[in-house]
Structure 1
Protein backbone atom coordinates (compact mmCIF):
# COMPACT_ATOMS: atom_id res chain seq x y z
CA UNK A 1 0.00 0.00 0.00
CA UNK A 2 2.86 2.32 0.85
CA UNK A 3 4.54 1.59 -2.47
CA UNK A 4 1.32 2.42 -4.32
CA UNK A 5 1.02 5.73 -2.46
CA UNK A 6 4.64 6.62 -3.26
CA UNK A 7 4.18 5.74 -6.93
CA UNK A 8 0.99 7.80 -7.10
CA UNK A 9 2.69 10.79 -5.46
CA UNK A 10 5.66 10.60 -7.83
CA UNK A 11 3.38 10.38 -10.88
CA UNK A 12 1.34 13.38 -9.71
CA UNK A 13 4.51 15.39 -9.12
CA UNK A 14 5.96 14.51 -12.52
CA UNK A 15 2.66 15.33 -14.25
CA UNK A 16 2.36 18.65 -12.44
CA UNK A 17 5.96 19.52 -13.29
CA UNK A 18 5.42 18.74 -16.97
CA UNK A 19 2.24 20.82 -17.07
CA UNK A 20 4.03 23.73 -15.41
CA UNK A 21 7.00 23.55 -17.79
CA UNK A 22 4.77 23.33 -20.88
CA UNK A 23 2.70 26.29 -19.67
CA UNK A 24 5.80 28.41 -19.11
CA UNK A 25 7.31 27.65 -22.51
CA UNK A 26 4.10 27.94 -24.52
CA UNK A 27 3.20 31.51 -23.65
CA UNK A 28 2.37 33.58 -26.68
CA UNK A 29 4.36 36.73 -27.14
CA UNK A 30 3.81 39.85 -29.21
CA UNK A 31 6.20 38.42 -31.80
CA UNK A 32 3.81 35.50 -32.45
CA UNK A 33 1.05 37.86 -33.61
CA UNK A 34 2.27 37.72 -37.21
CA UNK A 35 2.33 33.92 -37.15
CA UNK A 36 -1.35 33.64 -36.28
CA UNK A 37 -2.54 36.29 -38.73
CA UNK A 38 -3.92 35.08 -42.07
CA UNK A 39 -1.66 35.29 -45.10
CA UNK A 40 -2.96 36.06 -48.58
CA UNK A 41 -0.08 36.31 -51.04
CA UNK A 42 1.76 38.87 -48.95
CA UNK A 43 -1.15 41.31 -48.72
CA UNK A 44 -3.45 42.09 -45.84
CA UNK A 45 -6.65 40.05 -46.03
CA UNK A 46 -9.68 41.81 -47.49
CA UNK A 47 -12.18 40.13 -45.21
CA UNK A 48 -11.98 38.94 -41.66
CA UNK A 49 -10.46 35.52 -41.24
CA UNK A 50 -12.82 34.58 -38.44
CA UNK A 51 -16.13 33.84 -40.13
CA UNK A 52 -19.08 32.54 -38.10
CA UNK A 53 -19.26 28.75 -37.82
CA UNK A 54 -22.13 27.14 -39.70
CA UNK A 55 -24.49 25.34 -37.32
CA UNK A 56 -25.61 23.10 -40.20
CA UNK A 57 -22.07 21.86 -40.68
CA UNK A 58 -21.86 21.19 -36.94
CA UNK A 59 -25.09 19.13 -36.98
CA UNK A 60 -23.89 17.08 -39.96
CA UNK A 61 -20.65 16.42 -38.09
CA UNK A 62 -22.62 15.26 -35.03
CA UNK A 63 -24.69 12.86 -37.14
CA UNK A 64 -21.49 11.49 -38.70
CA UNK A 65 -20.02 11.07 -35.22
CA UNK A 66 -23.07 9.12 -34.08
CA UNK A 67 -22.76 6.70 -36.99
CA UNK A 68 -19.03 6.40 -36.43
CA UNK A 69 -19.63 5.42 -32.80
CA UNK A 70 -22.34 3.04 -33.96
CA UNK A 71 -19.78 1.07 -35.94
CA UNK A 72 -17.45 0.84 -32.98
CA UNK A 73 -20.33 -0.45 -30.83
CA UNK A 74 -21.41 -3.06 -33.39
CA UNK A 75 -17.94 -4.45 -34.16
CA UNK A 76 -17.61 -6.46 -30.90
CA UNK A 77 -20.79 -8.36 -31.75
CA UNK A 78 -18.74 -10.53 -34.09
CA UNK A 79 -16.35 -11.40 -31.28
CA UNK A 80 -19.04 -12.50 -28.82
CA UNK A 81 -20.91 -14.58 -31.38
CA UNK A 82 -19.33 -17.81 -30.05
CA UNK A 83 -20.20 -17.21 -26.40
CA UNK A 84 -23.78 -15.90 -26.64
CA UNK A 85 -26.64 -17.52 -28.56
CA UNK A 86 -26.96 -15.98 -32.04
CA UNK A 87 -30.59 -14.94 -31.60
CA UNK A 88 -29.65 -12.84 -28.57
CA UNK A 89 -26.78 -10.86 -30.09
CA UNK A 90 -28.53 -10.54 -33.44
CA UNK A 91 -31.65 -9.13 -31.77
CA UNK A 92 -29.57 -6.73 -29.63
CA UNK A 93 -27.65 -5.53 -32.71
CA UNK A 94 -30.85 -5.27 -34.72
CA UNK A 95 -32.56 -3.25 -31.99
CA UNK A 96 -29.60 -0.91 -31.80
CA UNK A 97 -29.58 -0.46 -35.60
CA UNK A 98 -33.33 0.12 -35.56
CA UNK A 99 -32.98 2.88 -32.95
CA UNK A 100 -30.19 4.57 -34.90
CA UNK A 101 -32.21 4.28 -38.13
CA UNK A 102 -35.22 5.90 -36.45
CA UNK A 103 -32.90 8.67 -35.29
CA UNK A 104 -31.71 9.15 -38.86
CA UNK A 105 -35.29 9.35 -40.16
CA UNK A 106 -36.12 11.87 -37.45
CA UNK A 107 -33.16 14.02 -38.50
CA UNK A 108 -34.27 13.71 -42.11
CA UNK A 109 -37.87 14.65 -41.22
CA UNK A 110 -36.70 17.72 -39.26
CA UNK A 111 -34.65 18.73 -42.32
CA UNK A 112 -31.42 18.80 -40.32
CA UNK A 113 -29.64 16.91 -43.09
CA UNK A 114 -30.58 19.47 -45.74
CA UNK A 115 -27.47 21.54 -46.42
CA UNK A 116 -29.32 24.39 -48.17
CA UNK A 117 -32.48 25.78 -46.69
Structure 2
Protein backbone atom coordinates (compact mmCIF):
# COMPACT_ATOMS: atom_id res chain seq x y z
CA UNK A 1 0.00 0.00 0.00
CA UNK A 2 1.35 3.37 -1.03
CA UNK A 3 0.75 6.56 0.89
CA UNK A 4 1.81 8.81 -1.98
CA UNK A 5 -0.57 11.43 -3.30
CA UNK A 6 -1.71 11.41 -6.91
CA UNK A 7 0.50 14.40 -7.63
CA UNK A 8 3.56 12.67 -6.21
CA UNK A 9 2.93 9.51 -8.27
CA UNK A 10 2.57 11.54 -11.46
CA UNK A 11 5.57 13.80 -10.85
CA UNK A 12 8.20 13.40 -13.52
CA UNK A 13 5.79 11.66 -15.90
CA UNK A 14 4.21 14.75 -17.40
CA UNK A 15 4.96 16.89 -20.39
CA UNK A 16 8.55 17.37 -21.42
CA UNK A 17 7.56 20.76 -22.87
CA UNK A 18 9.03 19.88 -26.28
CA UNK A 19 6.05 18.28 -28.02
CA UNK A 20 4.98 21.39 -29.91
CA UNK A 21 8.49 22.11 -31.15
CA UNK A 22 8.89 18.52 -32.30
CA UNK A 23 5.48 18.59 -34.02
CA UNK A 24 6.36 21.72 -35.98
CA UNK A 25 9.80 20.38 -36.90
CA UNK A 26 8.23 17.19 -38.25
CA UNK A 27 5.56 19.20 -40.08
CA UNK A 28 8.15 21.45 -41.73
CA UNK A 29 10.30 18.51 -42.80
CA UNK A 30 7.18 16.74 -44.15
CA UNK A 31 6.29 19.75 -46.27
CA UNK A 32 9.89 19.95 -47.44
CA UNK A 33 9.81 16.29 -48.44
CA UNK A 34 6.46 16.82 -50.16
CA UNK A 35 8.25 19.24 -52.48
CA UNK A 36 11.65 17.54 -52.67
CA UNK A 37 10.65 13.93 -53.34
CA UNK A 38 8.79 14.64 -56.62
CA UNK A 39 11.66 16.88 -57.72
CA UNK A 40 14.15 14.15 -56.83
CA UNK A 41 12.14 11.52 -58.72
CA UNK A 42 11.93 13.84 -61.72
CA UNK A 43 15.66 14.63 -61.71
CA UNK A 44 16.74 11.08 -60.88
CA UNK A 45 14.41 9.68 -63.55
CA UNK A 46 16.18 11.76 -66.18
CA UNK A 47 19.50 10.16 -65.29
CA UNK A 48 18.14 6.65 -64.87
CA UNK A 49 19.32 4.21 -67.52
CA UNK A 50 22.18 6.37 -68.70
CA UNK A 51 25.80 5.39 -68.84
CA UNK A 52 28.15 6.28 -66.02
CA UNK A 53 29.55 9.22 -67.96
CA UNK A 54 26.05 10.58 -68.68
CA UNK A 55 25.05 10.32 -65.00
CA UNK A 56 28.25 12.06 -63.89
CA UNK A 57 27.67 14.82 -66.44
CA UNK A 58 24.03 15.17 -65.34
CA UNK A 59 24.85 15.41 -61.62
CA UNK A 60 27.64 17.87 -62.36
CA UNK A 61 24.86 20.39 -62.99
CA UNK A 62 23.89 22.32 -59.84
CA UNK A 63 20.10 21.79 -59.81
CA UNK A 64 20.02 17.95 -59.77
CA UNK A 65 22.90 17.81 -57.29
CA UNK A 66 21.26 20.30 -54.91
CA UNK A 67 17.89 18.56 -55.12
CA UNK A 68 19.50 15.17 -54.39
CA UNK A 69 21.53 16.58 -51.49
CA UNK A 70 18.56 18.34 -49.91
CA UNK A 71 16.44 15.20 -50.27
CA UNK A 72 19.11 13.12 -48.51
CA UNK A 73 19.49 15.53 -45.64
CA UNK A 74 15.82 16.37 -45.05
CA UNK A 75 14.74 12.74 -45.49
CA UNK A 76 17.23 11.34 -42.98
CA UNK A 77 16.60 14.09 -40.44
CA UNK A 78 12.87 13.41 -40.74
CA UNK A 79 13.54 9.69 -40.27
CA UNK A 80 15.66 10.37 -37.19
CA UNK A 81 12.98 12.50 -35.57
CA UNK A 82 10.22 10.02 -36.29
CA UNK A 83 12.24 7.02 -35.13
CA UNK A 84 13.26 8.85 -31.95
CA UNK A 85 9.61 9.60 -31.18
CA UNK A 86 8.69 5.97 -31.73
CA UNK A 87 11.52 4.78 -29.47
CA UNK A 88 10.58 7.27 -26.74
CA UNK A 89 6.96 6.13 -26.87
CA UNK A 90 7.48 2.37 -26.90
CA UNK A 91 10.73 1.50 -25.11
CA UNK A 92 12.00 2.02 -21.58
CA UNK A 93 15.21 1.84 -19.60
CA UNK A 94 18.72 1.63 -20.95
CA UNK A 95 17.60 0.15 -24.26
CA UNK A 96 15.77 3.38 -24.97
CA UNK A 97 18.91 5.51 -24.70
CA UNK A 98 21.01 3.04 -26.68
CA UNK A 99 18.40 2.88 -29.45
CA UNK A 100 18.14 6.67 -29.69
CA UNK A 101 21.93 7.00 -29.91
CA UNK A 102 22.07 4.24 -32.54
CA UNK A 103 19.34 5.82 -34.68
CA UNK A 104 21.03 9.22 -34.45
CA UNK A 105 24.42 7.78 -35.45
CA UNK A 106 22.95 5.77 -38.32
CA UNK A 107 21.04 8.79 -39.62
CA UNK A 108 24.02 11.12 -39.60
CA UNK A 109 26.28 8.43 -41.07
CA UNK A 110 23.78 7.92 -43.90
CA UNK A 111 23.66 11.68 -44.52
CA UNK A 112 27.45 11.85 -44.61
CA UNK A 113 27.72 8.84 -46.94
CA UNK A 114 25.05 10.16 -49.29
CA UNK A 115 26.56 13.62 -49.49
CA UNK A 116 30.06 12.17 -49.95
CA UNK A 117 28.84 10.00 -52.82
CA UNK A 118 27.03 12.96 -54.36
CA UNK A 119 30.11 15.17 -54.10
CA UNK A 120 32.26 12.43 -55.64
CA UNK A 121 29.74 12.11 -58.46
CA UNK A 122 29.31 15.85 -59.00
CA UNK A 123 32.98 16.77 -58.88
TM-score range, shorter chain: 0.3 to 0.5
Higher helix share: 2
* Greater radius of gyration (CA): 1
TM-score for the superposition, normalised by structure 1: 0.40
Report 1 or 2 for greater relative contact order, CA contacts < 8 Å, sequence distance ≥ 6.
Answer: 2
